Amino acid sequence: MILNIKDILNIPGTSQEFDFSVPEERLALVRGYVFHTPVQVKGKIENRAGVVMLTMQTAFSLLVTCDRCLKETVQTFCYDEKHCVVRFLQDEDQEENYVVAKAEKIDIAEIAVADLLLQLPSKLLCKEDCKGLCPVCGCDRNMTNCNCGSKIEFE
């Protein structure tokens, strides 16, 4: 979703709200994740005394395979993000701290997808205290207690 923010950049006190779903074809480019629900994005871009702030909330569900026990589950995520929007940067090294409005437009969907990929945990678990699989017999230690753990010897 591309927003023309010319008025917001030029007129202090102006704002614009948005609420949309990220198109499926854009999510198809994201490798390694299976989206169970659409990615809903809602928020606001506003000019407060010449400072343009983009605030948004991204909500979605993923079909994940637990990294410890290999069980498939659906997990819901919701992230709040804030960005300062500028027309240009004096120093290209600061690009990660700002959203640059090229030609007075910004792509909210691109920003939302980049933010959610940065926020996702590196290890996806079915539950926080997942015990995983037994390295000896392979049973799910969340479901069954085995005595294999006491037989493991470390060199």
DSSP states of 45-59: EEEETTEEEEEEEEE
Residue 54 to residue 97: CA distance in whole angstroms: 12
Instruction: Confirm whether 133 is domain-assigned.
Output: no
First and final C-alpha spacing in the chain: 56
Instruction: Confirm whether 96 is domain-assigned.
Output: yes
Element (H, E) at 113: helix 108-119
Please give the model's pTM, rounded to 2 decimal places.
0.81
48-65 in b/e form (b: 16+ CB < 10 A) is: eeeebbbebebbbbbebe
Q: Which domain holds residue 113?
A: 2-124
pLDDT 10s digits, 76-107: 999 999 999 998 887 776 667 788 888 899 99
Number of structural domains the chain divides into: 1
pLDDT 10s digits, 24-62: 888 888 888 899 999 999 999 999 998 999 999 999 999
